[in-house]
Amino acid sequence: MQERIQKIIARAGICSRRKAEDLIVQGLVSVNGRVVCELGTKADPDHDEVRVQGKRILAERDDVYIMLHKPEGYITSLSDPHGRPTVMDLLRKEKTRVFPVGRLDWDSSGVLLLTNDGELAQKLTHPSYQVSKTYEVKVKGEPDENALKRLRRGISLAGRKTAPAEVRIMPRKGKHTWLAISLVEGRNRQVRRMCEAVGHPALKLKRTRLGPLNLGDLPAGKYRYLEGKEITLLRKLINPQRARIKKQ
């Protein structure tokens, strides 16, 4: 059965579908020895030879789903031209090639999903699926009720208002305040920018939940494979009628 090439590449675990489209446009993908640059091009993964940057890909592979507790000081990337540590340095023992789903800033910590399931990765990060994310944020000072209401109702960032968020003060004592913030958007450094906008800059940020995935007591820098029920819940987020777990 013929499928779009970018879907074949993503399902093979090479990269996300969006990244695969970039590779196609750049002329780095070939089918049966012929370079293709059109995104609508299709191929049969069972009979055609698809290569990415000269390397043949195999469509059949086991799906791997990993939850990493990303520490601060790591780049969410497969590699870094400046030699900075990346999250992949924490998975050196993992034999299967996986890639991060979404991102966490280098100075943030918490839940990060890595997988070779390109289709699931693309949908989990697409705004239309509105996957909820929860952060524990240490902010400077003590926000008053007006600041909390602004965070909950939405704040204009670069001329575009953020979607409503759930915000509550956490029962922690100290000079500064800890907030639990849940939202469905994922703009660049959004939580930090929101806190800055209300006059209470974020001093520390940790993502504790991504959709149905809860960080729990997983230590910083460690990772674990998702359980079957967690994979099922992820699949229900992107396709509730056809949620299923592929054989691992």
Whether residue 114 is contained in a domain is answered as: yes
Do residues 233 and 115 share a domain? yes
pLDDT, residue 63, reads: 85
pLDDT, residue 72, reads: 97
Do residues 203 and 158 share a domain? yes
Whether residue 11 is contained in a domain is answered as: yes
Whether residue 248 is contained in a domain is answered as: no
* Neighbour tally for 133: CB within 10 Å: 22
**Dihedral angle sign, alpha carbons of residues 95, 98, 99, 105:** negative
Whether residue 247 is contained in a domain is answered as: no
Do residues 170 and 70 share a domain? no
pLDDT, residue 15, reads: 81
Whether residue 243 is contained in a domain is answered as: no
The domain spanning residue 182 has which CATH number?
Answer: 3.30.70.1560
- Out of 22, 44, 46, 105, the active site residue is 105
The domain spanning residue 38 has which CATH number?
Answer: 3.10.290.10
Please give the residue range of the domain that contains residue 99.
Answer: 65-127+212-238
Whether residue 91 is contained in a domain is answered as: yes
Do residues 40 and 136 share a domain? no
Closest CA to 167 of 208, 137, 209: 137
pLDDT, residue 246, reads: 42
pLDDT, residue 131, reads: 92
144 noted as active-site residue: no
Cα–Cα distance measured from residue 248 to residue 169, given in angstroms and rounded to the nearest whole number: 41
Do residues 199 and 223 share a domain? no
Cα–Cα distance measured from residue 123 to residue 235, given in angstroms and rounded to the nearest whole number: 10
For residue 29, what are the CA distances in angstroms to 10, 39, 53, 79? 13, 11, 6, 21
pLDDT in tens, 167-200: 999 997 788 999 999 999 988 999 999 999 999 9
Which ranges of the chain have pLDDT less than 50? 241-248
Cα–Cα distance measured from residue 156 to residue 49, given in angstroms and rounded to the nearest whole number: 48
Do residues 49 and 70 share a domain? no
**How confident is the prediction for the chain on average, in pLDDT?**
89
pLDDT, residue 59, reads: 58
> Which two tokens mark 20?
């695969």
The domain spanning residue 218 has which CATH number?
Answer: 3.30.70.580
Do residues 71 and 117 share a domain? yes
Do residues 136 and 206 share a domain? yes
Do residues 52 and 72 share a domain? no
pLDDT, residue 238, reads: 79
pLDDT, residue 97, reads: 85
Do residues 93 and 44 share a domain? no
Whether residue 74 is contained in a domain is answered as: yes
For the chain, percent of residues with pLDDT exceeding 70: 95
Do residues 120 and 216 share a domain? yes
Do residues 112 and 219 share a domain? yes
- Domains of the chain: total: 3
Whether residue 245 is contained in a domain is answered as: no
Closest CA to 100 of 72, 133, 124, 134: 124
